[in-house]
Structure 1
Amino acid sequence: MSTKDVLLGTAGRKLVTIDGEQDVVRLQPPASPARIAEIERELGFALPPELSELLRVSAGLDMEMQESLDLASIGPCPWEGPLGPVMRLIGDGAGNFWVLELHPGMETLGPVWFVCHDAPVLVYQSADLATFVLDYLRFFAAPHDGPVSEVVEESIQRVWTQTLDIPRARLLDSEDTVLCDFARRLDDGWFIRDLRRAKAGDGIPIGRFGPKTPLARAGLEFVFAYGSRTRTQRFKTWLTGR
């Protein structure tokens, strides 16, 4: 099912919050040609054809009891996450967001990531926008389960405490050229996480060494890294914010 079909199919859908309150999904009006042109100027490249088509149908979904799904909110990744410009799809009400990275020539509207500040992690949510919309609305139907529920309620803490990240020194001679080349660009004290084959709930602790943890990425690959910081550096950040 196309993203447009999924979006149109949600109109009028009745939801029930975890607190038992009723809600109804409503389509937002289309984005104007001027707004679409403005987004492309901000990005510096043309929107993917599928996204342009979506915006000409609707700019998102409105729900009274939840935050709106916004397809026209474009900007930097929240919490200085290691992604390029993103579509900030929707928030969880606590300052965390589901986002979709945009770049020239992308053929699929995805994947969708969950960027969280408490704990500071980046978590893989869905392979594409259509799947995310269906999974998100599933979360607001009894029994309120599914991939979105799992990411919010389980994966954040699991990603924060996991020890799957690999010291760059162990990948210097990797037969995987992406990992090998990336590791050789980094200094000692960096840890690499390969999320090219991620499934919902996989992720990386982007704030492992405090709010100024240095982050890196292997081009447009979903291969990320973070650098260590000394206790003195972290204490300085706590004092000065730098």
Structure 2
Amino acid sequence: MTVKEQLQSLSGKSYIAEDGESYQIELLPPYTDEEIENLKNQLPNNNLPEEIYQLLLYARGFKFGPLEKITFDTVNTFGFEDFFPNTIQLAGDGFGNFWILDLDENGKWGHVFYVCHDPAVVIKHSENLKEFILHIDEFGERGKQSHLDQVHEKSVFDIWERNYGLIPREAMLQSHDDDIIQFATLFPENYLFADLQNKSNNSGFAWGKLGSDVSHIKRHESKLIWAFEKLNKKKGFFARLFSK
């Protein structure tokens, strides 16, 4: 099943909101050929995959009650380029948290991530756009028992409180993956790393544990590996005084 077919399968389907009201998805207008060309110019390598091209000729997104709307054409407006240099911002929750799709340097559409600011956590949400639409459908059907709700309400706090997802440099250098070793050697010992290569949905890392300054974050040019500088916290006046 293609992404377009996955979306088509939701057409006419009814969901029940928390207030008991029924709702359906509402497709947003399709793209014109001129709009397609303009979009290509915004994408890495001017590459729009055929599957996404066919999707956009059907709809540029859709309205969906709880998340208001999901769009497939919001390119590089998310920010946080140190984490994700090229993105499609798919949806937001209205509280400053977003679902974004990662684009590689060749314009390939990759995984969907949930980026939460409080707590400051990044989670792999879906394998791809097709699965994300499937997760949207599941959320409409199952609500609090759905994958989307579990990520939004539980997984972010699990990662923040118990499983930071950050790896010491020494452990990176002992990896059997040459890409990981080569990337780790580029940084001094005060760096920590996150590796979401080949990781399952719900995997993530608590980047906020190292502070809010994203200028010290570096990502591998083509892999889902990040490096974070572990800055020494400045001592307060009395701490400096009594340490002399």
- C-alpha offsets along residues 53-109 of structure 1, whole Å, 9 cap, x if unaligned? 1111110111345321101111144445611211111111211111111235455x4
CA 1:220–1:77: 2 relative to 1, 3 Å: farther
The answer (yes or no) to whether the contact 1:31–1:56 under 8 Å persists in 2 is: yes
CA 1:40–1:14: 2 relative to 1, 3 Å: same
**C-alpha distance in structure 1 between counterparts of 2:144 and 2:19, whole Å:** 11
**C-alpha distance in structure 2 between counterparts of 1:121 and 1:115, whole Å:** 6
- Secondary structure (helix, strand or coil) at the match of 1:82 reads coil
- Secondary structure (helix, strand or coil) at the match of 1:75 reads coil
Larger of the two Rg values belongs to structure? 2
RMSD: 2.1
Alignment match, 2:96: 95
Q: CA shift at 1:206, angstroms?
A: 2.3
Alignment match, 2:54: 53
When normalised by structure 2's length, the TM-score is 0.86
Alignment match, 2:238: none
- Secondary structure (helix, strand or coil) at the match of 1:74 reads coil
- Secondary structure (helix, strand or coil) at the match of 1:140 reads helix
Q: CA shift at 1:147, angstroms?
A: 1.6
Alignment match, 2:203: 202
Q: 227, 230, 234: which one pairs with 1:228? A: 230
Which amino acid is the alignment partner of residue 24 of structure 2? V
Q: CA shift at 1:18, angstroms?
A: 3.0
Alignment match, 2:124: 124
Alignment match, 1:191: 192
Alignment match, 1:236: none
Long gaps (5+) in structure 1: 234-242
Matches within 5 A, 1:1-242: 1-44=1-44, 45-80=46-81, 82-105=83-106, 109-161=109-161, 162-213=163-214, 214-232=216-234
The answer (yes or no) to whether the contact 1:47–1:104 under 8 Å persists in 2 is: no
Percent of aligned pairs sharing the same letter: 26
The answer (yes or no) to whether the contact 1:61–1:68 under 8 Å persists in 2 is: yes
**C-alpha distance in structure 2 between counterparts of 1:32 and 1:143, whole Å:** 35
**C-alpha distance in structure 2 between counterparts of 1:79 and 1:19, whole Å:** 35
Which amino acid is the alignment partner of residue 179 of structure 2? V
The answer (yes or no) to whether the contact 2:105–2:222 under 8 Å persists in 1 is: no
- Secondary structure (helix, strand or coil) at the match of 1:88 reads strand
- Secondary structure (helix, strand or coil) at the match of 2:40 reads helix
When normalised by structure 1's length, the TM-score is 0.87
Aligned residues: 232
Q: CA shift at 1:145, angstroms?
A: 1.8
- C-alpha offsets along residues 120-162 of structure 1, whole Å, 9 cap, x if unaligned? 1110011111111111221122354222122111111122232
